[in-house]
Amino acid sequence: MSKTYVITGAASGIGRALTKHFSVNNTVFSGVRRSEAFEEIGKFSDNVIPFFIDLCSDDSIKKAAEFINSKTNKIDTLINAAGCVVAGAIEKISADELRRQFNTNVFGHIEFTQGLLDLLEGGRIINISSMASYGIFPFISPYCASKRAMDILFNSMLMETKRDIKIISVKPGVIATPLWNKSIDQNRASIKDCCGYEAEMEYMIKNADKNGRVGAPVQSVVEVVAKADSARNPKLTYTVGKDALAARCVSKLPQTLINSIIKSKVRKLSQNKSEKSGGVN
């Protein structure tokens, strides 16, 4: 039987692949924030209904929720896939950048979901969280914190709710999507103003560039989301990839041990940089 999906972040990467997958046999409301993406995603299939949503704008979120409420009286699955990465050293990062991270990855999703709850009775919410939610990656800690916050808030919703709604967190490892190159572009200011952390930022840029090319295919996330969507009794959390599973295991170690492993890795980065440039530590 045909179902109704709402997917944010449908313009690219994982959200786009999910739109393609689910729109073959179902109605999919696909959320984008750019007109070109609106046009493009609408051409996928007659089953795709594009809508505008900017998760950093209360007004846009409200209008998006009103639009969906006016078009359907039931959503089977809401997939909160939109997201961005704010990176940098916490000593340097601006409060505005932290707000951008949390507005997009946390507050926007909560507000949008609240606007759709009446339609979700008997349905499910699948959040595209991340292995970053395990909180073990320095220099993208705003991203880690936002994904953890998203998981905590939605899990609380699940514990509190009197509604019949299932809430699932999907935590992918590194996936080859435009997210990585965007993260380099969108974090230029933090990368530039990183005095004392040049080696770490250089590593982050190289790593992001590599991840965007050699990460796992989006299809690996689509398969896990499809499984979580169809399971009669879905798990609360699904990891995608061995790296996400490893992050989950590492996060269970004592925090002091995690810190010393990560700190020694960070120290090596600075040493390598210093040796390459002929400097002395």
Q: Which residues make up the interface to ligand NAP (CB under 6 A)?
A: 8-9, 11-15, 33-34, 53-56, 81-84, 104, 128, 130, 172, 174-175, 177-179, 182, 215
Whose Cβ is closer to ligand NAP: residue 95's or residue 195's? Answer: 95
Contacts 24+ apart (CB under 8 A), 118-122: 118/69, 119/68, 119/69, 119/72, 119/73, 119/74, 119/75, 120/75, 120/78, 120/163, 120/165, 121/74, 121/163, 121/164, 121/165, 122/74, 122/164, 122/165
Whose Cβ is closer to ligand NAP: residue 4's or residue 101's? Answer: 101
Whose Cβ is closer to ligand NAP: residue 15's or residue 142's? Answer: 15
Contact by Cβ (8 Å): 244, 171:
yes
Helix (H) / strand (E) element for 162: namely none
Closest separation between CB of residue 182 and ligand NAP, Å?
Answer: 5
DSSP 217: P
Closest separation between CB of residue 164 and ligand NAP, Å?
Answer: 26
CA distances from 103 to 2, 9, 11, 97 (A): 33, 14, 19, 10
Closest separation between CB of residue 167 and ligand NAP, Å?
Answer: 16
Closest separation between CB of residue 14 and ligand NAP, Å?
Answer: 4
Closest separation between CB of residue 53 and ligand NAP, Å?
Answer: 5
User: Which residue's CB atom is positioned nearest to ligand NAP?
Assistant: 13
Whose Cβ is closer to ligand NAP: residue 33's or residue 148's? Answer: 33
Q: What's the chain's Rg over C-alpha atoms?
A: 19
Closest separation between CB of residue 256 and ligand NAP, Å?
Answer: 27
Whose Cβ is closer to ligand NAP: residue 82's or residue 120's? Answer: 82
d(CA 155, CA 49): 29
Whose Cβ is closer to ligand NAP: residue 143's or residue 197's? Answer: 143
Closest separation between CB of residue 3 and ligand NAP, Å?
Answer: 21
CA distances from 263 to 85, 147, 149, 189, 266 (A): 22, 22, 24, 24, 5
Whose Cβ is closer to ligand NAP: residue 55's or residue 145's? Answer: 55
